Amino acid sequence: MATTIKVYRNTATIKAEQFDGSNEMVDKYELIDAGTMLGTHHSPELYLTGSGKVYVGDWIATGVNGERWLITDEVFKQKYKELPVIPENVAYIIKQAKKGDYKLGWVFNATYLGLWRVSVGNWIRTHADTVARAWLDGYVVEEDK
């Protein structure tokens, strides 16, 4: 009996910060100095518990359960994209539509029917891909200026 190979997409949202070598980040992520670990002297080599050696430019990722791991800059840029930033009033529409069990198509249809304020409708029309990505993957609300 043949098995079917399926293709999967990772949909987990993570928080990540690029390591800059600063003492603040060493303390924040409780990085271990290799020299201290070996009982010798201070070493420029730093390690993240359970993940290995940390290089400046690596990303330190934090999962939903607080677990941390390292991702090289090259791999990070290939695998991860920032969540889209959308205005608060568009975020409200998405939240309310999902709460009411409406579909994304309804949001776009309502936009073209003129149900939203003109400025909101114009933003949705000119940023349709961003709205769709926000609907699917989540979003960050734009900070007040």
> Per residue of the chain (145 residues), what is the pLDDT tens digit?
778 888 887 777 889 999 998 989 999 999 988 766 545 555 578 999 888 999 999 999 998 888 999 999 999 999 888 899 999 999 999 999 999 999 999 999 999 999 999 999 999 999 999 999 999 999 999 987 6
Q: What is the pLDDT of residue 94?
A: 97
Two structure tokens written together for 36: 């201290």
Cα–Cα distance measured from residue 78 to residue 87, given in angstroms and rounded to the nearest whole number: 27
Q: What is the pLDDT of residue 72?
A: 96
Q: What is the pLDDT of residue 37?
A: 53
Q: What is the DSSP string of 1-38?
A: -PPPP---------EEEE----HHHHHHTTPEEHHHHH
Q: What is the pLDDT of residue 70?
A: 96
DSSP summary character for residue 144 = P
Cα–Cα distance measured from residue 73 to residue 113, given in angstroms and rounded to the nearest whole number: 44
